[in-house]
Amino acid sequence: MNPISSYLQELNDVQRNAVTHTDGPVLVVAGPGSGKTRVLTYRIAHLINKGVAPWEILTLTFTNKAAREMKDRIEKVVGARANKVWAGTFHSIFARILRVEADKIGYPPNFTIYDTDDSKSLINAILNEMHLDKEKYNVNQIRARISSAKSNLITPKLYVQQEDLMEQDRQARRPLTHKIYEKYVARCKLSGAMDFDDLLYRLYELWQKNPDGVLDKYREKFPYVLVDEFQDTNHLQYAIIRKLVDYPNSPRNICVVGDDAQSIYAFRGATIQNILDFEQDFKPYNIQTFKLEQNYRSTEHIVQAANEIIQYNARQIPKTIWSDKGSGHRIKIIKAATDGEEGKRVVDTILEQKNRYHLSNSDIAILYRTNSQSRVFEEYLRRYNILYKIYGGLSFYQRKEVKDLVAYLRLVVNPGDDEALRRIINFPKRAIGDTTVEKISDHASQNEQILWKSLGEVSFGGKTQTSLNGFIQMIRGFREQLDRLDAYQLAKIVYKESGLEKEYAKEGNTQEGQERVDNINSLLDGISAFVDDDSIIDTETIPDKSLASFLQSIALLTDQDEKQDQNDRITLMSVHAAKGLEFKSVFVVGLEEKLFPSFLSMESPEAIDEERRLFYVAITRAEQFLTLTFANNRYRYGQMRFNDPSRFLEEIPRQHVESTANIRSNTGASFEKQAATPVNPKASVSGYFNKPAQEAYPKIDPRNFKASPIEDIKAGMKVLHLKFGEGKVVGIDGNAANKVATVHFSDAPPPQPRRIMLKFAKLQILEG
């Protein structure tokens, strides 16, 4: 068999068209589980088989793993020629080009690439030179500010001309941020160094200045450009791509692959506008759009629920994902009274699935909105002796900030805990350096005593002795309250008075800083739950609610034998980390307002849309079983707080849900009743908020509705839909079993056309 025809025969019709249409601009809208990677790799292989030199193909990805996988797949079709393709991440490819061309913009060819720590160190040095308060001018916040400026092509000179940026800095009490930015850029250039943002920023500068026709050289070198995960590109990345392919007389052989419904990285600077606007940007050049709508991963209940949910977003590329894997299991929704009960019921359900359906641990994932949520699930998995792994992060009790506070608590309970003392004696920094600790350790060793005793026996001068005395008095003060306060009350005092609270607050609103604060709060919430809830401890081994008993309980949990099978483990991860992965069974937990969707998104419709895309990504990771959970009450900041169910639960049509009888909002209105009456996607969810819906879907009496046969529905007809009301069919595509109608509805928001799979969402013909 001809090798060319053999790989094309592996593709469905739409995939094959996307692979073989090689000339001009192409947009491939790839739904979840639709074979995106196969299309991209086979397209490259097809170009090579058509005679395009591999080194004339530039493929940009977001991970090195994706680039390697792509090359491996191409090699299976075209052989060793695959290694000549320029495939890699934006940063690795651009660094490769800059090594050759950097001298043209004033950098040495052997320029240094600064990592995050290098950048922080340089900013720190600049802050010291400028004698600035590091609590106001937090290093992480300054670094994030500089990164954002570069990603939006704002130079130090342009920065001071942006009054909104300058005003933001004044409001944040960091009015000299622009000066730090200016010095940072100058020092990097003086040192012949580029940070990660510079690998994009300086390449754009190279393209813009075009010295010696360098841009023309690369335009000629790469007549074919492909971009993976295009929805995750930022403003600067798209600007670089446009420079390379969009110019007079260009063939514009650019193919971008992505899914607007999976654009979830706005916090990293990604903008969904790139993929939403791409079709319009290249419309004058006969752009071809291919929609990969067949899902090869999930069963129909999961896929159709995802379709319905994403329709609530205001602006999107219309598509309807479908599956031929059978209807499968309905979506299970678990309502728990507390977050502790949520953890237990999730683990109980996991055991049921393992026993009833013979799932392995590795078939199962627990997904959460924030990493701090992992604690309660880890605790119950350990109690049931179920192995798990934290994907893309540390186990809760192994996270630095958690270990720091636990070390303080251990020392308060037991001053003989030398390892705890070593960890926190100079954290936060209090002028007790390594040399001082070494002298204390030597004294303790010589006298065969604990470090705590030696602290008061070794004398030092000046500031060091003052700091040591202060540390000793602080720990003694905590110990005096051991018998008077419960574990939670004392832990809160230790967190505040030790300086940890202030230390972690310094990182402000950076993602890393917020995660650390969330983890500390989750630990404190766990202690509060320990104090309040008799059901979460074994009274035979944990006799009371003291701080010592709490530390004993987590020591028992964390003393798990790690020498068991490392592969067959439940996966715990954030939804962001789960993108691109798939599991037979997925649990999406913590589905409550202000948690998922996040409280940070409440003021912005665009942010709510991104949270909904994140939920869409979460549920489409599931192949066969999807379980959604929420708790009516959850420990937040040490107190039990009432939570409304997430609006996303209300957006799932009830025909895809196993049971909704017990799900109620704080108003007492049942979820089932709410779910039966779709809400306006641009307004707040009925029953949860006080804002009235400004628009509503039309109400159709089901008794008067009669679905027309699928084969009778044609383009141009006026039709009626139970949910969206009257509309006009503007197109029909797909085969007989999976026909999809594109319909303009007159009343139902959002205003763009909807694509509806006829076998699931019936239409009644009103006019032929």
Q: Given 101, 197, 228, 404, which residue is catalytic?
A: 228
CB 583 within 8 A of CB 623: yes
Angle at the Cα of 69 (from 63 to 71), degrees rounded to 5? 110
Is 514 considered catalytic here? no
Which residues, at least 6 apart from 10, have a Cβ–Cβ distance to it below 8 Å? 38, 42
Q: Given 229, 342, 363, 623, which residue is catalytic?
A: 229
Which residues, at least 6 apart from 355, have a Cβ–Cβ distance to it below 8 Å? none
- Residue 635 buriedness (CB in 10 A; 0-12 / 13-18 / 19+): buried
Can you tell me the distance from the alpha carbon of 460 to that of 432, in angstroms, rounded to the nearest whole number? 10
Can you tell me the distance from the alpha carbon of 519 to that of 762, in angstroms, rounded to the nearest whole number? 47
DSSP result, 612-667: HHHHHHHHTTEEEEEEEEEEEEEEETTEEEE-PBPHHHHTS-GGGBS--TT-B-TT
The single-letter DSSP state of residue 685 is P
Q: Given 36, 423, 613, 664, which residue is catalytic?
A: 36
CB 420 within 8 A of CB 408: yes
Is 36 considered catalytic here? yes
Angle at the Cα of 599 (from 596 to 605), degrees rounded to 5? 85
Can you tell me the distance from the alpha carbon of 585 to that of 622, in angstroms, rounded to the nearest whole number? 6
The single-letter DSSP state of residue 245 is H
Amino acid at 590: G
Quick check: bond before 753 cis, omega within 30? Answer: no
Is 37 considered catalytic here? yes
Q: How many contiguous H segments (helices) and E segments (strands) does the chain have?
A: 30, 20
Token pair belonging to 278: 């791409």
Helix (H) or strand (E) holding 144: helix 139-151
Which residues, at least 6 apart from 204, have a Cβ–Cβ distance to it below 8 Å? 153, 236, 239, 240, 243
Can you tell me the distance from the alpha carbon of 641 to that of 658, in angstroms, rounded to the nearest whole number? 28
Is 289 considered catalytic here? no
Look at the chain and count its residues.
768
Q: Given 252, 621, 664, 754, which residue is catalytic?
A: 621
Token pair belonging to 252: 């514009």
Could you give phi then psi for residue 85, rounded to 5 degrees? Answer: -70, 140
Look at strands 288-292 and 112-114 and give their pairing: unpaired
Is 627 considered catalytic here? no
The single-letter DSSP state of residue 12 is -
CA 729 to chain centre: 37
Which residues, at least 6 apart from 186, have a Cβ–Cβ distance to it below 8 Å? none
Can you tell me the distance from the alpha carbon of 392 to that of 160, in angstroms, rounded to the nearest whole number? 38
Token pair belonging to 699: 């109400």
Token pair belonging to 439: 């002298």
Residues labelled catalytic: 36-37, 228-229, 262, 621
